[in-house]
Structure 1
Amino acid sequence: MSQINTVLKVQIHEAGYEPAETKIRNISFDVQPGSLTGLIGPNGAGKSTTIKTILGLMPYANAEIEFGDGTGTYAYVPEQPVFYETLTLWEHLSLAAAVNELDAESWEADATRLLERFRMTEAKHLLPGGFSKGMQQKMMLMLGFLVRPDVYIVDEPFIGLDPRATMDFLELLQEECRRGAGVLMSTHVLDTAERICEKFVLIHEGRVAAAGHLDEIRLQSGLPQATLFECFSALT
């Protein structure tokens, strides 16, 4: 991976479903290599709209989004699993490898390790339509980790995961950060976010209410000794 200052640079002037119906305004932040940034905020604050704008999925957006030096790669792990009903778990992994032009020998070894890590080996040749929500979420995580991008964009990853899968996910995220990848993670699980995230972007009513390291969030909330949850409550 090239030495760059940011793996994701976000400057959203405004975005929404049409110019007269904007949902978010003046949202700016960076994600650095090897760091994990938490995107937090109450329901309806604009987190999902922010992620959709980053991914280029909003019908109207006045924004500049830059991945790395302009050639950076990313993987998106959605909150709601998305899959092909007629493809098995292994075929989904194979398709992701083909789309991202991964080396055949390398991706198969990586996919096998991910199956073992998430205890999904026995489901390798099964259709995901028959999986539990947790198993489907594990598949989404495996597809992201298989690609090993410059930046991960992860939306509410803990929904449906059991404690062991959550631990595996967090360990893999830390490994990817050590590799030099950056992570933008939207989550409501504030105690976990406080423990693992280096920086935070708190969105409220479509705008950035606070941003920075936890000490900076505390300063902006006026609560110098507070937890992230307490700062969240004060600012929203």
Structure 2
Amino acid sequence: MMNDTSVLDIQGLSGGYSLNRPVLHDISLQVQPGEMVGLIGLNGAGKSTTMKHILGLMNPQKGDIRVKGKKREEDSAAYHGALAFVPESPLLYEEMTVREHLEFTARAYDVSQKDYEERAKKLAQIFRMEDKIDTLSTHLSKGMRQKVMIMCAFVARPSLYIIDEPFLGLDPLGIRSLLDFMVELKQGGSSILLSSHILSTIENYCDRFIVLHQGKVIAQGSLQEIAQQAGQPGVPLEQLFYSLVQGRD
């Protein structure tokens, strides 16, 4: 059923790299305003493929994807303008500085100069990048490059963030800064779909979880709801996840 208030609404999505062998099988999920949802699964479960479909990098073989009620083919500009993506591996322009990346992103999302300056300053402080703001990205470590990708996504304020394994390459302080900032974004009304293998880290931050296994949703809901589905109330997310996926191969 389509939910009019959902920021992201996926109904009956099947898709993959070839018509004969879909990777995703009849996936339905929603992300509501101001909600952080954890997308969890083993390697090859279909997390990245799901994200590629949301981003419009792959076309559904069956089913619908709506962002703020719009399908991509109905209004591509509104659809893409409503979301920002943080990929697992940092993709930056080598001959651009950190500041230039932030300015470029702000322009792409029509962020006002005043908002851009406030946000860029705050992000540089949060992620401890103030002394690197005019450094070319080619001279940054992998962890710093990851921070730039995150800062670029957050300098815009779209309705929906799609974030794929953001903790790789970040030090413990960087992880904490990112989690705290995502909570702040959420409180400001933004929605986040977050893929991560570090279940103990996201357990206390996500409102709900979607467990993908072999391209199917095998459980979804709050930690308590998933614990009930697994028949293991009061158990940590990591343990619930293992119980759900073991024996299903």
- What SS is found at the alignment partner of 1:196? coil
Match of 1:159 in 2: 168
Structure 2: unaligned runs, 5 residues or longer = 71-77
Give the distance between the partners of 1:178 and 1:133, measured in 2 at CA.
Answer: 29
Kept in 1, the 8 Å contact 2:163–2:194? The answer is yes
Pick closer, same or farther for the CA change 1:59–1:67 going to 2, 3 Å.
closer
AA in 2 matched with 1:89: V
Match of 2:217 in 1: 208
- What SS is found at the alignment partner of 2:161? strand
Task: Say yes or no: does 1:132 pair with 2:141.
Answer: yes
Counterpart mapping for 1:2-21 below 5 A: 5-21=5-21
1:13 is displaced (CA, Å) by: 2.7
Task: Say yes or no: does 1:108 pair with 2:141.
Answer: no
Kept in 2, the 8 Å contact 1:18–1:59? The answer is no
Match of 1:117 in 2: 126
Match of 1:43 in 2: 43
Match of 1:27 in 2: 27
Match of 1:231 in 2: 240
Task: Say yes or no: does 1:199 pair with 2:211.
Answer: no
Q: Deviations over 1:35-76 (max 9, x none)?
A: 110000111111111111111112554231111133461110
- What SS is found at the alignment partner of 1:22? coil
Match of 2:190 in 1: 181
- What SS is found at the alignment partner of 2:5? coil
Kept in 2, the 8 Å contact 1:17–1:60? The answer is no
- What SS is found at the alignment partner of 2:187? helix
Kept in 1, the 8 Å contact 2:13–2:60? The answer is no
Counterpart of 1:141 (choices 150, 168, 173) is 150
Match of 2:56 in 1: 56
1:190 is displaced (CA, Å) by: 0.6
Q: Deviations over 1:167-202 (max 9, x none)?
A: 111111111111111110000011122111110000
AA in 1 matched with 2:41: G
Match of 2:75 in 1: none
* Identical-residue share of aligned pairs (%): 41
Pick closer, same or farther for the CA change 1:67–1:217 going to 2, 3 Å.
same
| TM-score, length basis structure 1 | 0.94
Of the structure 1 ranges 103-112 and 44-53, higher mean CA displacement relative to structure 2 is found in 103-112
Kept in 2, the 8 Å contact 1:17–1:59? The answer is no
Match of 1:190 in 2: 199
Kept in 1, the 8 Å contact 2:13–2:65? The answer is no
Structure 1: unaligned runs, 5 residues or longer = none
Give the distance between the partners of 2:242 and 2:69, measured in 1 at CA.
Answer: 36
Q: Deviations over 1:83-103 (max 9, x none)?
A: 111111111111101111111
Give the distance between the partners of 2:242 and 2:105, measured in 1 at CA.
Answer: 40
